[in-house]
Structure 1
């Protein structure tokens, strides 16, 4: 796909630009930001780009008489023709598009044939007008859309967004026009051509319908002939009139006379027709009008009768109204006195507590203080008891047991746990109240477990010492035995060698004597073998003795070990007893904790009861003070009591004076009286009167006379209606008229056939409509495919806290035209939706239009132009919307997770200095350039690059 950008442009004598301004847009390959105050020429920059591509300005396309008499394309006063050039750059070529104003001498310089277009390619070849448009389409329309779209017609939809377009798309366009615009944008309108196939079928049906229409026409001619003959023969007497039309005119005059008396509309018809059918239809219409008038007059008569009944009912309640008014006056006197009486009696009832409040308050506060001290002491003691209980529990958690293998470590652990327990217990100062627990602590601190451990340790050390001594002796004797066994083995090895030698030399049978080479003793050679055998078979007595010694020592070791095991078992039994001792103490401690917690709970309840009592006293005191302040009673106690008693007597006297009236003194009674009065007043008001004066009676009399008049008029109209009925009966007995009716039946039958053919025609139309439906479905699918991106943009701008989604809905209006409706709804409830046109503010509607425009502009594949122009799109947005919108713009170039990289050239403007600085900050890491419109003078905009 060939990509094209706007690299340069020049504006000369176009709108607000007097001097030629050249803009190099290559410095902002990602963003070009135009900033400056309104009126400095920023919008004219976008107008110039739109004009050079399309020859039009969107916001001036609406019909306007003033537009046709104004000059606004050329700089005024006129000096030279306006000219705008745009340089379009691809990777390999450059094209220059030029539009120049012409025909500017007329009443207006805007409109068709008011400009001239040319396109110059990089090889110098020039194209003009339609040829230039065709070449522009080849350059900027993608291959698959070529010959289907015209670039000037889609430029403003995909590449230029202005404030006027935002408002026009959401509010300016009606549903069908918005649908057609979307169809053109999406390129689906071309599929409507398939409907032409059914056009011929429609034409065939139309011809058949024309033949039926001829039969209908012939039948109508015969009907007219009979009408004329019936009228000429004058065979019918119309209620004493020789002609039908005279009867109708007389009936109209009779009707108008009666109707005039009751102010209904007259029949202002002049009977000019002379055919019976037409006159009969007029007769039916007049008869129907008479019957309608009778019905209307009956309705009016019934309405006035109801008003009379209501007025009579209202008038009959006159005495009841005044009686209840009197009751209200009395109750509004007695009810405040009743309330005052109750308040004063309350003071009398609570007088003693009120007068003695200070003493009671002091006494209760003293008792509360005492309870508070006791609670603090109990809480402290309970915390200490729990601390000791936890210590005992921790001590019991350590295993109080000595094992045979590692008994020294076991003893050390027991001693360590014991020391920790006793040292910890020693830090608690228990309240003297807890005498039994104090004894418990002493028992915990003064038990004899340490003596037992010391005794056990001493005995263990003595046994270990004995065992060590015996073990050393055993080890020595074992070494000696092993050494002797080694020597003995060597000795017998020598004897065996000697014996083997004697046997081998056969010396064992020699009886001669010889000397021993070792000891020089003389012995017989044959006895030597016997001696050797005896020596070899004999055991060393010393070794045997040492083995006995070893066995005795091993027995001693076993005895010592048994004694060691017995001692450890005995000590472990003692430890079990100690463990039970501490378990018992733990139980006692826990029981004490429970006991004191119950006592603490009781103390707190008693303290709360005192507080509630004090609160009630204070509330009584406050209530009496409110009454005193409300009634402005004296503060002095004696004067107060005297005044209260005196005032109660006065109130009693006043209430007694009304006792004979038999009125229940209550707010409920007062409310009922007021409701009754209000209802009666409402009925009186509905009757049109402000009070129960004589005029109401006169009104009843006038309305009664009106009813009598209506009855007379209705009776006269009913007589007239009877005449019309008789006239219809007379006419129906005429033979020509009967034939006329048969022809009319024939006419109706052909009309039915005509309607059947018309139904077939409608079916063909439906098939043709199906083509439109297919286009609608294609549009719907394409819009659905883009809806995610539209909502992605819309949500990120966050225009509305509740309606956070956009839905583009294709529907059909009452005229059968396809429409595009834009709706907004909430995520979790799509049934709750609104039309932003009538619900959203201008800023919120702008965000909706921006979201749709950007999504379509970013996703569109029909043009090769990378450029998107945004003329001050941030107007009316609040700060959150602005930040979000700028982040979206930045994401289009830097964040590939934002629906991919779109690789667009963005040119936008803003009049807000704060937004301009924010744009610079947010876009500083992208390829961005700024055009500052700093002033405007007689030469046009002053721009800082």
Structure 2
């Protein structure tokens, strides 16, 4: 038997932090706490760890919300996790003892939902990881809440069950009759296979609408006594005129050849009509061109010779004028763009003119460069000149210097050259006389050079001015020339626009033949008119051709409604591919041959159609026979199912008749109510009622209508204990939980209840190997604890006030 030794929870509903509950070897665990302290949550944790579900929550959750709402995030919050830790994982761990071995079961869940059972792992006492499937061998998770948990919610839910659902609560008290059920299931599968087979072969039947169409076709066909004879005259090469000897396939091939001949002839006539229409259109355009030449011969000749009709020529001139208008001529850029000005071919600005004038400019540049170099060289001596000028300006200081030396009796030495003899003897006016002379001569030479430089620079500027001015004149003349050409083009094109339009239309037929060059002279245009006139189809001939092509299209069954000749021609040319060589053709001959051949084919087709109809009818008859056989098998299987179900129903009725007294004994032992003597579980005899179960008293009255809340709770406790007794030797999991049943205790015979609990825990093979009992009623806990201690039952009392989060 299984026994829970320890429970550890973390972030599970009201338990925020990790909490550990040690149950040791207790057989009876009493959870004593006020409402909201977590006693129900502790039992929920055990159920969730073992099954991945919490029955009381998932049942009400699924009823309260639609399937789509159950998956919405705002409805999932706090169903598993503590409200303060929505992102942390929920972890519950159980230490259990089973058949002398210790195991640890841990279940962990990331999402806050019961829609996902989370991840479960199982370890043995040596910390070896076991296959998690072993947990399913220990615990029946689908029925855990139904059979191993008793709470008041289950009692209230039971009242809301329909009669078909009620049976599911009690069916486990009866034998399962698995073999009989298996036979019924197999027979139902057999019936499904039969129905699928019937659908499959029914799909192979020929529809009645299709058969009706064929019968009407045969009935509507009247074979003619006198067949139209097939003309012996050959219409195309190698034609077989003995059609009677041909098979239907051969007739179909010959009929297609006749159609191709018709399509070919229609294409030929349509081409003649289209060519005639085109010739007439060309002739009209040529006559218009001829008229324009007569009115504007010179203008047209000029437009053609200069190709002024070409829009690109005009665009080119416009772009050229734009470039000329943007051109700016200065002394700085004339050397770079003079070649463009020369290209204008103006008399005032020729290549010779440029070469001569530019040579002059270059010469002036050479002289100017030389003079500038001389001036720079003369300017390099300015320091000496500046010094001499300073001395000349301060000549008296030099004289005073010499007088001072003389008065002091010192040797008079020249401060510039170091001479004593000359410096001491020369007169005052002779001092610095040579310096003055040198300064005057140098100033005169530098002034002459600067005058020459200015003269040559002025000459160069005048040359450049003249060159730029003549270039501007050349540019202006070129702009005038281009502008005039543009105006002339506009005028000529306006005069000749009709002529140009007609020629362009003609070029859409033959651009080479009807070029502007070929259509500039009246005589040549006149020759073209005479030439094209031969291809023009007259009105009378055109009407006859149109009638002929219309007749042909009717003969070959071609629908030409809403189509022009171009569209018809495309299709007739496709259909006339691989046409045989036509020997002799007329619409009448083609019509007779096609009609005669179609009659022969129809005769052969009607015979073939009759044969096909007979085959289809025979096929449908065989299918109907097969369907009848399958229907009989299906009915036979259905009869067997009804017979077995009737026997099962009778057996169930007998067994439910025994279940009622069994539950009655438990109820009477626990309940203080003495008015209800017996429970009866009754099934109805009708097909629909066979799935319904009534719970009646000894006089056949519905008990659920009479029960008070307390009596209902006692009844559900009887059901709970009855299942525990039934499962005592069938499941390894004999751990049960009773959650807060205080409200029904007034209706329970407490002494009998305590004795029953005591006996089941104390007996070695009792229904309970371990019982968890939670209540907020301290008196009941004291009674249970006193009773357990008095008979040697190990009891553990858990007070949750200390671990409240």
Using the size of structure 1 for normalisation, the TM-score is 0.36
Q: Which has the higher helix share?
A: 1
TM-score by length of 2: 0.42
